[in-house]
Amino acid sequence: MPLVIERDAPAAAPQPPASPRALPDPLLRIAGVSLEYRTPGRVVRAAHRIDLDVYEADRFVLLGPSGCGKSTLLKAIAGFIAPVEGEITLAGVPVRKPGPDRIVVFQEFDQLPPWKTVVENVAFPLRAARGLGRREALERARVTIEKVGLSAFAGSYPHQLSGGMKQRVAIARALAMQPKVLLMDEPFAALDALTRRKMQEELLALWDEARLTLVFVTHSIEEALVVGNRMAVLSPHPGRVRGEYNCHEFDLSSIGSRAFQAAVQRLHQRLFEPAPEAALR
Ligand SMILES: Nc1ncnc2c1ncn2[C@@H]1O[C@H](COP(=O)(O)OP(=O)(O)OP(=O)(O)O)[C@@H](O)[C@H]1O
Ligand SMILES: [Mg+2]
């Protein structure tokens, strides 16, 4: 069976220990979280009673259709939006505001200040949010830039880079901060297919090296299976968790295999089946 519904078989940790009692505490806990936008005369519920546990070194994917609240949930984890009910905790501490332990990489290529070079872009938050001195910040920035293969462009400005290169800088900037959780909101969605594949490969290599904890948003089933070790499938607006799946056995080399195709098929059905939750609205 390529996919395991964890709701039915609660083996939620990345490498489940023999006894459920030995489960580690989740690094990130989302407990009964609902999120709303309030505009004059209107309240939009973006996510409804979300329960998710993310463990250290998870590559946890949020997969769901457009408008289901993925970005909103990520913003709440980042501390930009407060839940109207429920609670988000990181290492047991309630999330109340943004902090350097949670860094977001967005889809847009224009998330880098254009007046700073690549190395300055990566070094700046290290000084501003981590309090590093200039020399130390530049040194750590250079090391991280090398990891994403951009050493030759350390002195370039964002407008001199391709979309994929800008995303590498955004990833380097986030990695250099050594966050507890790296939050990625469709970071490769605007890239061409080949670059996207390459970036997925690079992200997995970076994870392999640093064992980061990732929360990765996508609406691509294939990308979810390749990037994630675990995933939650969200329903259409307002987002609810439809199911959780283990997908650690897949990587880029699995694409095209029968098991991979079967997993894609099942997730496709899960994503697009008529909404049982509609009756609850
Ligand atoms: N600033 C806002 N004010 C009011 N409603 C908003 C705001 N931002 C998002 N919404 C609404 O909240 C819901 C969830 O939006 P969100 O951007 O989180 O979806 P998403 O799953 O990230 O979609 P996509 O895949 O298209 O990025 C949508 O119905 C959207 O219209
Ligand atoms: Mg979004």
User: pTM of the predicted model, to two decimals?
Assistant: 0.90
Last residue of a domain, one of 178, 201, 233: 178
For strand 4-5 and strand 241-246, is the pairing parallel, antiparallel, or unpaired? antiparallel
pLDDT of residue 22: 72
- On whether both 131 and 184 belong to a single domain, the answer is no
pLDDT of residue 2: 46
Q: Which domain holds residue 126?
A: 109-178
* Residue 48 CB–ligand 1 contact under 6 Å: no
pLDDT at 183: 98
Q: What is the CATH number of the domain that holds 64?
A: 3.40.50.300
Boundary of a domain, candidates 178, 202, 231: 178
72 and 202 in a single domain? The answer is yes
Longest dimension (CA), the chain: 59
Q: Where are the beta strands (DSSP E) in the chain?
A: 4-5, 28-39, 42-54, 59-63, 85-90, 93-94, 102-105, 181-185, 214-218, 230-234, 241-246
In a domain, 20, yes or no: no
Same domain for 164 and 206: no
188 with 280, same domain?
A: yes
Which region holds residue 256: left if phi is over 0, alpha if psi is between -120 and 50, else beta? left
**Atom of ligand 1 at shortest distance to CA of 68?**
21
Q: Which amino acid is at 254?
A: S
- The two beta strands, 102-105 and 181-185, are parallel
Average pLDDT rounded to a whole number, residues 164-174: 95
Is 19 domain-assigned? no
> How many other C-beta atoms lie within 10 A of the C-beta of residue 8?
9
Q: What is the pLDDT of residues 2-59, one digit of tens each?
A: 454 444 333 345 555 555 567 789 999 999 999 999 999 999 999 999 999 999 999 9
In a domain, 41, yes or no: no
Shared domain for 65 and 183, answered yes or no, is: yes
| 32 domain residue, yes or no | no
- Whether residues 142 and 280 share a domain: the answer is no
Is any ligand 1 atom within 6 A of the Cβ of residue 218? no
Q: Is residue 155 part of a domain?
A: yes
CA-75 nearest atom, ligand 1: 18
The phi, psi pair for 92, rounded to 5°, reads 85, -5
Query: What is the token pair recorded at 186?
Result: 């469709």
Domain match, 201 and 97 both:
yes
Does 281 have pLDDT greater than 60? no
Q: Minimum mean pLDDT among 41-50, 104-113, 138-147, 227-236: which range?
A: 104-113
Distance CA 237, CA 277 (A): 10
Quick check: 117 pLDDT over 80?
yes
* pLDDT more than 70, % of the chain: 90
How much is the pLDDT for 17?
52
Ligand nearest to the CA of 36: 1
Per-residue model confidence (pLDDT) at position 23: 77
Q: State the pLDDT at residue 273.
A: 84
Assigned domain for 264 exists: yes
Residues 134 and 237 in one domain: no
- Which phi and psi (to 5°) does residue 42 adopt? -155, 140
In this predicted structure, what is the pLDDT of residue 11?
39
Residue after which a domain boundary falls, among 178, 200, 228: 178
Residue-wise pLDDT for 204-259, tens only, equals 999 999 999 999 999 999 999 999 999 999 999 899 999 999 999 999 999 999 99
Residues 190, 71 share a domain: yes
The predicted pLDDT at position 274 comes to 80
Question: Given this model, what pLDDT does residue 62 score?
Answer: 98
Q: In this structure, is residue 25 part of a structural domain?
A: no
Q: Are residues 72 and 164 in the same domain?
A: no
Residue 100 has pLDDT above 80, yes or no: yes
Q: Is the CB of 219 under 6 A from ligand 1?
A: yes
Among residues 9, 71, 10, the alpha carbon closest in space to that of 234 is found at: 71
Percent of the chain with pLDDT over 90: 84
Instruction: Report the number of distinct structural domains present in the chain.
Output: 2
- The alpha carbon of 187 is separated from its chain's Cα centroid by a whole number of angstroms, namely 9
Co-location of 155 and 274 in the same domain: no
**For the chain, how big is the Rg over CA atoms in Å?**
19
Same domain, yes or no, for 273 and 143?
A: no
Ligand 1, atom 31, lies closest to the CA of: 67
Q: Is residue 102 within 8 Å of residue 181, measured between CB atoms?
A: yes
If pLDDT is split at 50, 70 and 90, which confidence band does 278 have?
Answer: low
CA 98 to chain centre: 16
Question: With contact defined as beta carbons under 8 Å apart, do 130 and 177 qualify?
Answer: yes
Name 280's Cβ contacts closer than 8 Å, sequence gap at least 6: none
**What does the DSSP assignment read for 193-205?**
HHHHHHHHHHHHH
Give the pLDDT score at 20: 57
DSSP, res 239: B
What is the Cα–Cα distance from 113 to 218, expressed in whole angstroms?
25
173 inside domain: yes
